[in-house]
Amino acid sequence: MPLDGEREQLCLGAAEPVLRLARTTNDAADSPVQADVMLRPTGRQQLRYKISLAPSRPG
């Protein structure tokens, strides 16, 4: 469930749940280069991902 401030910013009702998505993007050496945290109302959002990756190299 969202925190009070999150609920207010998203204009949510008292019992409205959210999807909290935490994502880390790593570079080719597996070092983190970006971190994201997203909060979405579950009844108003639909997530669809399309991720294109280069083929991994043997090694």
Is position 33 within any domain?
Answer: yes
Is position 36 within any domain?
Answer: yes
Task: Kindly report the pTM of this predicted structure.
Answer: 0.58
Is position 18 within any domain?
Answer: yes
Is position 15 within any domain?
Answer: yes
Is position 32 within any domain?
Answer: yes
Per the structure, the count of domains in the chain is 1
In the structure, what pLDDT confidence band is assigned to residue 54 with cuts at 50, 70 and 90?
A: confident
Would you state the torsion angle of the CA atoms of residues 25, 27, 29, 33, taken in this order, to the nearest 10 degrees? -70
Is position 57 within any domain?
Answer: no
Is position 58 within any domain?
Answer: no
Encode pLDDT of 4-51 as tens digits: 999 999 889 888 899 888 999 888 888 999 999 988 888 777 778 787
Which residues constitute the domain of residue 23? Answer: 4-41
Is position 10 within any domain?
Answer: yes
| Contact between residue 18 and residue 25 where contact means Cβ atoms under 8 Å apart | no
Q: What was the pLDDT predicted at 55? A: 72
